[in-house]
Structure 1
Amino acid sequence: MTTTAKFLSGPEPRDLTRDLISAPLVTTYSLKSLIDSPQFQQKMVLPSGRCVSYTTCGSKTGIPVLYFYGLGGSSRQIASMHAQAVRLDIKLISIDRPGTGFTEPFKTS
């Protein structure tokens, strides 16, 4: 089965299967180096004063792609996809939900 990516504008669709298969293996050391880097996990303060954390990896200038993780996860899950994101020239962005990572929980009254 061949998977292709189609963008509304920009590069022609390409075969992603070959890119994913030929991506370098991710090692524990490379994951730790990525996770420990200051560019990986970042924080922003909203106008309301709440802190929200988010994670980015992949190509710094690539096509931005939002990654939404499931229950019990965090934005750090995208670390294992860094090598593939670089090869595909995409920038993965994942935002921590309230109460996850460094994102503050919702305030209860």
Structure 2
Amino acid sequence: MAEKMPQDPRKKKLTREEEYFAEQELTKRASLREKLNQEREESRQRQEKEAHWMKCPKCGGELQEKQFEHVMIDQCPSCQGIWLDAGEMELLLHAHQSVVSSIGESLRKILK
């Protein structure tokens, strides 16, 4: 006598109730998967930031913050590079507007 093969549960005709719960389960799994993917991406970004935080983009040395005028700049003791955060260049230019203007005028005279 041949044994009856168990039916593949994916091919089984589902009742309305079973369909509802199957759909709920799929939705829940998709939501959990999305949440896990988001957490992984946030973790990756955090690790990347920590790996590059206060590192010189030119040589990889540790940047040190130094006060220049009224602005904190980042300087690399290895290559002597100076790095400015967003808005710091504008602060320095604004503080020395007369110097910048005279340099600009001198350059215009030279380039004529």
Give the TM-score normalised by structure 2: 0.21
Specify which structure has the higher proportion of strand.
Answer: 1
Specify which structure has the higher proportion of helix.
Answer: 2
Q: Which has the larger radius of gyration?
A: 2
Point out which structure has higher relative CO (alpha carbons under 8 A, 6+ apart). Answer: 1
